[in-house]
Structure 1
Amino acid sequence: MRLLLKILLVLAIAVAVVTLFGEGPGYVLVQVGEWTLETTATLGLIVLVLVWALGWEVWSLLITAWHMPGRLAGVRDRRRRRRSLELLERGLLALEGGDAGQAQRHLARGARLAQAPAAFHLEAARAAHLAGAKAKAEEYLDQAQQTVAGDDPAVTLLRAEIEMGAGRAEHALALLSDLENQDADNPRLLKRLLVLYRRVADWDALMRLLPRARKAGVVTPEEADSELTLARGRRMEEARLADEGEIVERLWKEAGRDERGDPRIAVPWVRYLLARDRVDDARKALEQGLGRSWGGELVDLYLALPEAQASPQELLRRLERWRNDHPRDPHLLTVLAQLAISAQFWGKADQYLAEAGAQSDLPPQILLRLAHLYQAREKPDQALTFCQRGLAALGGEQAPELPPPGPEASGYSVE
C-alpha cells in the first residue's frame, strides 16, 4: 500500500512538471567519458525523481533487512514471555489445587523460558517441598538465590517457611533473626517472625516485635494489644515457675491499667503473690481483677486463699453474691460446690454440682473437677461419668483412677 502511494505521488509530480514545462521544455546534457546523454528537462526531471524513489525503496529494504534479526528475536522473546506467563499461571493454579508435582513441572519449564526466573524458582521450590522432593526444593532455592538481587529477602523468607513447615522452628528462627538485622520493617518478615515467636514461646521477643508489627500494619491495634497481653501473661507465668520474682514484678509494673484487669495478666500475678505468701496483696488483686474483668480462672484462685480451708462457710457466703450476675459460670459454680463440701453444706454442694453438670460444652478441666467433687461427695457413678467426659474432651480413651474421697479432694494448688 505504501509503495502504491509513492508511485502515485511520483506520477502526480511528473504530470505537474510536464504541465509546467510543456511550452519550453529545455534540455539536459550529461556527458561521461565518451558517452553523451541528451534529453528534455521534463524527462530528465522525471527520471531523477524515479531514481530517487527507487533509491529510497532500496534503502528502506536494506534497513529492514538490517533490523530483521532483532525483530525476529523480539518476536521470539514475546512468545517466550507469553508462554512463561501461561506456565506460571498453570503452575500456581495447580499448586493452589493441591497438585504439587504438576505445579513443579509447569514452574520449572516456565523458569527456563522466563527472562526473570526468580519467581518461578521460588514457587517451584515451594511446590517441590509440598511434593516431598527436598533435594529439588533446595536446588530451586539455590537457583533463585543466583537470580534475585543481593538484598532481596524472598529466598530467605521461603527457606524459613519451609523450615517452619518441616517443624524446625529453631532453624527458621535463626534464618529470620539474621534477616531482621537487615530489613527490620519488612511486613512479610514481621508476619513470619510473629508466627515463629509464638511457636517457640519466645514471649520476650514477641513483646518486643509487636509494636513494630502494629506500626507496619501486620496486625491491627486490637490484635496487637491482645497478643501483647497474652505474651506478658505467659512470660509472667514462666518467670513465676522459674522463681524469677524480679521479672514478674517488672512485667506487672509495665502492664497498663486495662491489662492488669485482664485474667491473662491477673492470674499469674495472683499466683505469684500467693506463692510468696503475700495473701493480703493476692486477695486485693483478686477483688480488683474481678471488678475490672470477670474471669473464671480468677475465681478459681479463691480456693488457694487460707480462708478456703480455715473458714469455707464465710468465703462461700462472700462468693455467693456473684451468683446473680454470673448464674451459669461453671468456674463459680464448682468453686461454690467445693467450698460447700468443705463447709459440709451437702444440700448446697449437690445443688451447685447439679447446676454446673447440667450445662453442655463444659471445658475438660471443669468436667474433671466435677469428677473429683462428686467423688468427694461419695457418688462414684457421677464421678466416673464426668471423668470419662473430661477425658473424651481431652482426647483420652480411658478414665484414670480417682483419688480416694476426703477433705483433700477439694483442695486447690496454685500450680
Structure 2
Amino acid sequence: MKLWRWILLLVIVAALAAFGWHWVAADPGDVLIRIRGWRVETSLVAAVGFLLLAWALLVGAWRLARWPFGALSRRHRRLSHQRLGEGLIALTEGRHGDAERDLNRASRLASLRGPALLASAEAASRRGEHARALETLGEAAQVAPQAARVLRARVLRRDGKPAEALALLAPEADANKLSPGGWRELALAALAAGDIRRAREALEPLQKSGALGTRAYAALESRVLVASIVAAADAAALNTLWSQWPKTQRRLPVVVDAYARRAAGFGLMLPAMDEVESAIRREWSPALVETWGTLPGGDIEVRLRRAEGWLDAHPNDAVLLLTLGRLCVQQKLWGKARQYLERSLALAPGAGAWEALGDACAGQGDATQAQRCYRNALSAVRGEASPELPGTTASSIDARGIAMEERNEHGMPRLRG
C-alpha cells in the first residue's frame, strides 16, 4: 500500500477515536453488580476494559497450560517433516528400503499421511514388493483416493497386469474424470493390454491437459499410433485408419515409417512410396531414407536416380550412401555399389553396409573379399570391432570421394562455423 493511503487511514482512525472519546465522555454510563452482599459500581468503559483484560488473562493461562503438550506436538510435526524429506531423498537415490521406513513413519502425522503413503507405495513397487505396495495404497486411498488409484494402476502395470490396471481406470475414463497422470497410465496400460482404441482415446485429453512436455507427449503419441498401424488387420482397415488421422499425426517420421512398412506388407506399394517421399521432402530423415530404399517393388532405376539427386544435398549421409549401394547391387552395378558402400563404411561402419558390400564383392566374383565382408557384418551385429579390408582404409576412401562440402536441400553449400 502506498504511503499516502497509510496516512489517510491513520487520519480516519484518529478522527473516529476523537469523536468516540467525546461521545463516551459525555455519558460514560454506569454498571452496577451486586452479588451476595458484594457491590461493584463502575463506568461502562471501565467494565469493558476489565472484561477484555480478564479474557486476555484466561487465554494466556490456557495457552500456558497447553504449552507442554504443544511442545510434544511440535516435535512430532518437526520429526515427521524431517522423515518425509529424508524418505523422498532416499527414494530418489534408490535406497528404497530406507525410503519405505522413513515414509511410513512420516505417515503418522495426519497432514502428511497421504503423500507419505503414496511415496512409500512407490518405494515398495520399485523394490518389486508389489503386494505390499497395493496394501499401502489401500490405506492411502482413504486420504487421496484419486492419486492412489492412479498409482495402483501403475503398480499393476509394472507387475505385468495391464488388463487389471485398465479395468481400474476405465470407469473414470468413461466419465472423463481422470487426472493427467491417470490418462497417461491408461494409455500405457491399454498399449500393454492390446486395447489400442483405449490408448488412442487417451491422447486427446492428455494433450489438452499439457501435463506432459512436448517431447514426452510426442514419444507417447508415436508409440500409440505405431501400435495402431501394426494392429491393422488388412489394407482396408489401414487406409481407413490413416485417412481419419490429422495431418500432424500423419507427418511424424516414425509413424510414416510404420505406415510404409505395413502398407508394403499389404501390397500397397504406391501409397507407401508416396508417403515416405513426401515426408523426406518435408524434412530430411535418414531413417525414412533407409526404409524407402528397402521397400520392395518399384522401378529400381528411377529410385536410383532419385537417390543420387538427394546425394547433392547430403553427400556425407552414411544411410543415403548405404541405400545407393543397395540399389546399385539390385541393378548389378557392382563397381558403383562398392564405391557408395565403402564411403558409407568410412562414415559409419555397420552390419548393413558390410553385408551389402559383401553382395557387391560376390557379384564381382571376389569370393575372398565377400567372405571377409560377411564376417565383418556378423562382428558388427555382435558389437565386435570389424577389421578393415585391404585397400579400404578410411584415408583411401576419403581420397576416392567423400564429399567434404555439405549442401542444403536446395543444393547450396553450407558454411562451416
TM-score category, normalised to shorter length: 0.5 to 0.7
* 1:159 equivalenced with 2:152 (yes/no): yes
* 1:101 equivalenced with 2:97 (yes/no): yes
Structure 1, residues 172-202: CA drift from partner, whole Å, max 9, x if none? 3333334434663512323433444555565
Aligned partner of residue 117 in structure 1, secondary structure: helix
Distance in 2 (alpha carbons) for counterparts of 1:232 and 1:115: 42
Distance in 1 (alpha carbons) for counterparts of 2:115 and 2:265: 56
Distance in 2 (alpha carbons) for counterparts of 1:282 and 1:58: 90
**Which residue matches 1:386?**
377
Task: For residue 339 of structure 1, report the CA deviation from its aligned partner.
Answer: 2.9
1:71-110, aligned counterparts within 5 Å?
72-110=68-106
Task: For residue 351 of structure 1, report the CA deviation from its aligned partner.
Answer: 0.7
**Which residue matches 1:410?**
none
1:373/1:207 Cα in 2 relative to 1: closer, same or farther (>3 Å)? farther
**Alignment check: 8 A CA contact 1:85 1:110 kept:** yes
The unaligned stretches of length 5 or more in structure 2 are 1-35, 42-51, 385-417
Distance in 1 (alpha carbons) for counterparts of 2:241 and 2:218: 15
1:200/1:317 Cα in 2 relative to 1: closer, same or farther (>3 Å)? same
* 1:326 equivalenced with 2:314 (yes/no): yes
**Alignment check: 8 A CA contact 2:289 2:320 kept:** no
**Which residue matches 2:337?**
349
Letter in 2 for 1:387: L
The answer to which of 272-281 and 336-345 deviates more is: 272-281
1:380/1:368 Cα in 2 relative to 1: closer, same or farther (>3 Å)? closer
1:65/1:159 Cα in 2 relative to 1: closer, same or farther (>3 Å)? same
**Alignment check: 8 A CA contact 2:187 2:199 kept:** yes
Structure 1, residues 57-102: CA drift from partner, whole Å, max 9, x if none? 9999988777776555444333322232222223223333333223
Distance in 2 (alpha carbons) for counterparts of 1:287 and 1:62: 86
Structure 1, residues 273-313: CA drift from partner, whole Å, max 9, x if none? 545555555554454343333344355445545455xxx44
Aligned partner of residue 108 in structure 2, secondary structure: helix
**Which residue matches 2:20?**
none
1:388/1:316 Cα in 2 relative to 1: closer, same or farther (>3 Å)? same
**Alignment check: 8 A CA contact 1:261 1:288 kept:** no
**Which residue matches 1:124?**
120
* 1:177 equivalenced with 2:170 (yes/no): yes
**Alignment check: 8 A CA contact 2:307 2:324 kept:** yes
1:89/1:321 Cα in 2 relative to 1: closer, same or farther (>3 Å)? closer
Distance in 1 (alpha carbons) for counterparts of 2:248 and 2:129: 50
* 1:141 equivalenced with 2:141 (yes/no): no
Greater CA radius of gyration, 1 or 2? 1
Distance in 2 (alpha carbons) for counterparts of 1:266 and 1:138: 40
Distance in 2 (alpha carbons) for counterparts of 1:231 and 1:282: 20
Letter in 2 for 1:350: R
% same residue:
26
Distance in 2 (alpha carbons) for counterparts of 1:103 and 1:183: 34
Task: For residue 380 of structure 1, report the CA deviation from its aligned partner.
Answer: 0.8
* RMSD over equivalenced CA pairs, Å: 4.2
Which residue, 216, 220, 236 being the options, matches 2:209?
Answer: 216
Task: For residue 216 of structure 1, report the CA deviation from its aligned partner.
Answer: 0.9
Which residue, 225, 230, 240 being the options, matches 1:250?
Answer: 240
**Alignment check: 8 A CA contact 2:184 2:202 kept:** no
**Alignment check: 8 A CA contact 1:337 1:352 kept:** yes
**Alignment check: 8 A CA contact 1:232 1:251 kept:** no
- Give TM-score, length-normalised by structure 2: 0.64
Which residue, 310, 316, 327 being the options, matches 1:339?
Answer: 327
**Which residue matches 1:411?**
none
1:196/1:62 Cα in 2 relative to 1: closer, same or farther (>3 Å)? closer
Distance in 1 (alpha carbons) for counterparts of 2:274 and 2:319: 20
* 1:264 equivalenced with 2:257 (yes/no): no
1:181/1:319 Cα in 2 relative to 1: closer, same or farther (>3 Å)? closer
Structure 1, residues 335-387: CA drift from partner, whole Å, max 9, x if none? 3223323333221011112112222364x555555555555554111221122
Distance in 2 (alpha carbons) for counterparts of 1:59 and 1:260: 75
**Alignment check: 8 A CA contact 1:236 1:268 kept:** yes
1:162/1:268 Cα in 2 relative to 1: closer, same or farther (>3 Å)? closer
Letter in 1 for 2:345: G
1:86/1:253 Cα in 2 relative to 1: closer, same or farther (>3 Å)? same
**Which residue matches 2:107?**
111
1:58/1:354 Cα in 2 relative to 1: closer, same or farther (>3 Å)? closer
1:349/1:250 Cα in 2 relative to 1: closer, same or farther (>3 Å)? same
- Give TM-score, length-normalised by structure 1: 0.64
The answer to which of 210-219 and 252-261 deviates more is: 252-261
- How many pairs were matched up? 335
1:219/1:137 Cα in 2 relative to 1: closer, same or farther (>3 Å)? closer
Distance in 1 (alpha carbons) for counterparts of 2:154 and 2:363: 51
1:266/1:107 Cα in 2 relative to 1: closer, same or farther (>3 Å)? closer
Letter in 1 for 2:242: W
1:314/1:181 Cα in 2 relative to 1: closer, same or farther (>3 Å)? closer
Distance in 1 (alpha carbons) for counterparts of 2:276 and 2:111: 66
Letter in 2 for 1:347: G
**Alignment check: 8 A CA contact 2:172 2:178 kept:** no
Distance in 2 (alpha carbons) for counterparts of 1:99 and 1:303: 48
Structure 1, residues 148-190: CA drift from partner, whole Å, max 9, x if none? 16xx312222222333443444433333334434663512323
